[in-house]
């Protein structure tokens, strides 16, 4: 077919009726930026998720190829591809969950904030589409700088009259995934047994791992705390430098995004006790947005959990993080209010 046409592919064993495992209706999920470094493996992982019944893959380039490729996987989700701005509305209409990894990634020497100029515009356009076509969808926002793109998305939705803080979640799962991995190395155990809450935001010192609350509980030395905190805060830069100009984390990010999307869908399905960290509208601090543990449920974000007791090291880190976060949030809000 001509690549500009919308494509629908059904897998070999795919069903016509969009049913998830167990006969329950599945979720309709769109990935915006599906042909990118994160988008491609994330598309594959979402096609593997039995909670997904319909998967819309949208990008401004190369989505027909990714769609054809992913659609050959013999799992239940029906896959449709959408290419370019004229197809954005069709990509979004009827979606329950919209995952946004669209935008440029860092190169060595750049901060996430250096991506603002390009990604702010991309996120604005995509969120305007969400407000128009699927205002009730849960949005998982990955595009950097997350500390600023989430406030941008909130302002876009406010302008459109569709804002619901329960449905807008900045994805910080990769910080938790990294923290669990690095801590497991120190503890000499399986990372799947470790849980480190990571709060604050998603850039440098705003990434604040709460090592005092690690599960299973462990008393780190102050040297271990400082080394682990530094590695978790700079995990993204570690990958950017190793990739040497070829982009930033994509595979671990796709894994993290798929994990978070799965948690959102389990919450929407009514599963109890679904807790993840995310950057959300919050009253946990004086800032309007903050990353912390949240409980996900039938309406999206159901509860923002309190920070719990912090060590002195973490309290100091929190004050530094809040200062930077305040500026990043302000930048996002002003971008829309002054435009
Ligand atoms: P990439 O360049 O490989 O892919 C980005 C994709 O977005 C491309 O396919 C591009 O065509 C597409 N795109 C650009 N403009 C678009 C638009 N208007 N509509 C739809 N699609 C559009 O980049 P990547 O490595 O996949 O990273 C994407 C973003 O995710 C970057 O901003 C990166 O910094 C961010 N990121 C965030 C986290 C996190 O933890 N939240 C982790 C890793 C990367
Ligand atoms: C990450 O943490 O890997 C992402 O935010 C990408 C980056 O620029 O570091």
> Is residue 144 lining ligand 2, measured as CB closer than 6 Å?
yes
In this prediction, residue 339 has a pLDDT band, given cuts at 50, 70 and 90, of confident
Ligand minimally distant from the alpha carbon of residue 239 = 2
Query: pLDDT value at position 6?
Result: 43
| Residue 105 Cα to ligand 1 middle (Å) | 6
What's this model's pTM, rounded to 2 decimal places? 0.95
| Residue 104 Cα to ligand 1 middle (Å) | 5
Ligand minimally distant from the alpha carbon of residue 118 = 1
ipTM over 0.95: yes
State the chain's mean pLDDT as an integer. 94
* Ligand 2 atom 5: residue of nearest CA: 236
Mean pLDDT for the stretch of residues 164-175? 98
Q: Establish whether 336 is an annotated binding residue.
A: no
Q: Is 72 a known active-site residue?
A: no
SS (H, E, C) the chain: CCCCCCEEECCCCCCCCCECHHHCECEEEEEECCCCCCHHHHHHHHHCCCCEEEEEEEECCCHHHHHHHHHCCCCCCEEEEEECHHHHHHHHCCCCEEEECCCCCCCCCCCHHHHHHHHHHHHHHHHHHHHHHCCCCEEEECCCCHHHHHHHHHHHHHHHCCCCHHHEEECCHHHHHHHHHHHHHHHCCCHHHCECCEEECCCHHHEEECHHHCECCCCCCHHHHHHHHHHHHCHHHHHHHHHCCCCCCCHHHHHHHHHHHHHHHHHHHCCCCEEEEEEEECCCCCCCEEEEEEEEECCEEEEECCCCCCCHHHHHHHHHHHHHHHHHHHHHHHHHHCC
| Residue 28 Cα to ligand 2 middle (Å) | 27
């Amino acid at each position: 077919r001509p690549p500009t046409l919308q494509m629908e592919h059904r897998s070999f064993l795919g069903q016509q009726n969009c049913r998830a495992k167990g006969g329950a209706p599945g979720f309709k999920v769109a990935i915006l930026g599906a042909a990118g470094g994160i988008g491609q493996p994330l598309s594959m992982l979402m096609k593997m998720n039995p909670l997904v019944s319909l998967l819309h893959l949208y990008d401004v380039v190369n989505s027909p190829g990714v769609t054809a490729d992913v659609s050959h996987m013999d799992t239940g989700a029906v896959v449709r591809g959408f290419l370019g701005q004229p197809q954005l509305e069709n990509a979004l209409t009827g979606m329950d969950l919209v995952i946004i990894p669209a935008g440029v990634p860092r190169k060595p020497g750049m901060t996430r904030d250096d991506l603002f100029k390009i990604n702010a515009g991309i996120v604005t356009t995509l969120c305007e589409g969400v407000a128009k076509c699927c205002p009730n969808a849960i949005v998982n926002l990955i595009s950097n700088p997350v500390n600023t793109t989430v406030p941008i998305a909130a302002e876009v939705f406010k302008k459109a009259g569709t804002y619901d803080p329960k449905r807008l979640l900045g994805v910080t799962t990769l910080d938790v995934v990294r923290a669990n991995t690095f801590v497991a190395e120190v503890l000499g155990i399986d990372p799947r047994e470790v849980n480190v809450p990571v709060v604050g935001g998603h850039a440098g010192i705003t990434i604040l791992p709460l090592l005092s609350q690690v599960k299973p509980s462990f008393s780190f030395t102050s040297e271990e705390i400082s080394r682990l905190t530094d590695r978790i805060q700079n995990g993204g830069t570690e990958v950017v430098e190793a990739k040497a100009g070829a982009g930033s984390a994509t595979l671990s990010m796709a894994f993290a995004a798929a994990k978070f999307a799965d948690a959102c869908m389990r919450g929407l399905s009514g599963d109890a006790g679904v807790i993840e960290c995310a950057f959300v509208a919050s009253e946990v601090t004086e800032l309007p947005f903050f990353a912390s543990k949240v409980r996900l449920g039938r309406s999206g974000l159901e509860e923002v959990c309190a920070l719990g007791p912090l060590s002195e090291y973490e309290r100091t880190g929190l004050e530094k993080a809040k200062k930077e976060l305040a500026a990043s949030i302000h930048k996002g809000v002003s971008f829309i209010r002054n435009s």
